[in-house]
Every structure is written in C-alpha cells, then in structure tokens.
Amino acid sequence: MAGLTDFFGSLGPWNWVILGVALFVMETLLPGVYLIWFGLAAMIIGAVTLAFANFVPEAAELFTWQLQLVAFALLSMAAVLFVRRYSSPDLDPSDEPGLNTRALRYVGRTFTVVEPIVDGRGKVQVGDSLWQAEGPDLPAGTRVKVVGVNATVLIVQRTAE
C-alpha cells in the first residue's frame, strides 16, 4: 500500500503528459474516439501542474496528487459529455437517407411478379434479380408497384395497368 501511495504522491507534470501521450497512442490503435478525451484531460492536468510548479511554487503544494486525480476525473467526464452532446452524428441528416437500404430505392417503381404471390408471399423481378415480395395474392406476370419495404422484402400492390 505504501508503494501505491508513493507512486501517486510522485505524480508530477511529466507523468500526466506521458499518460496523455499513451492515451493518444491507444486512441490511434483502438477505435472508439473516447481515449482522446481522457488523453486531453491528462495533458491539461499536466500543463496546470507544470505551470504551478514553475510559476507559483507555493501553490504547487496545494495541488496534491489527490486533487490532481479528482481534477482529471472531472475533466475527463466533462470532455466526454460535451463531445457526446455536441458532436453527435445524428445531428447531421444525410442528403441520401436510403443510401445503405437498397430496397428503399424501389419504392414507387413497378415490377413484374415472377413467382405467384400466395398467402401474401411471392417474388418479383427487379432487374436481373429476384426479390421477395409481400402483398395480395396475385398470379405470375402481374405488374405490381412497390409501396413499402420490410427489411429486404418489398411490399407490393397491383397496378392499374
């Protein structure tokens, strides 16, 4: 226990800077965009501790390792909460919301039933591929319009043609 207390007691500005650099390196190796904010907090604590040590030596004694750890924890939490709130990707709507949902591109288009829709399920020809379809029972060869999508299943209705 004394070794751990001595270790934390010896935390100086360069230990915080080293921790910050280590967290930055880990951020580049691991995905997630969270360690960078902890690294930034460690760098700030290191800079404040270094400033106290060099410019206000009498105040440096007041900025104990316990206070440094509390400040690091508070800065880390504040940074993560700030980033989560103000840089959410949900705030930027896409100009193509259906880009990764291929089936949504077919809504409103007309296709031909190639396997009869029986009990609400069948297949339609979309280009050179067959897609599952749901809709009213219809024979093969019927023209249908896609009115919706359920995952990769096209919801169809008979056209007026």
Using CA atoms, how far apart are residues 146 and 101, in angstroms rounded to an integer?
Answer: 15
Using one digit for the tens of pLDDT, what is the confidence trace for 104-152? 888 999 999 999 999 999 999 998 999 999 999 999 999 999 999 988 8
User: The domain containing residue 42 runs over which residues?
Assistant: 2-91
Q: Which of 63, 91, 119 is the last residue of a domain?
A: 91
14 in a structural domain: yes
pLDDT of residue 6: 72
96 in a structural domain: no
Cβ distance 122 to 133 under 8 Å?
A: yes
CATH number of the CATH domain containing 150: 2.40.50.140
Using one digit for the tens of pLDDT, what is the confidence trace for 17-73? 889 999 999 999 987 778 889 999 999 999 988 888 888 777 767 778 788 899 999
Cβ distance 140 to 125 under 8 Å?
A: no
Q: Are residues 23 and 87 in the same domain?
A: yes
Residue 51, number of CB atoms within 10 A of its CB = 14
Q: Which of 37, 70, 91 is the last residue of a domain?
A: 91
Q: Are residues 51 and 119 in the same domain?
A: no
Q: Are residues 61 and 130 in the same domain?
A: no
**Farthest CA pair distance, the chain:** 90
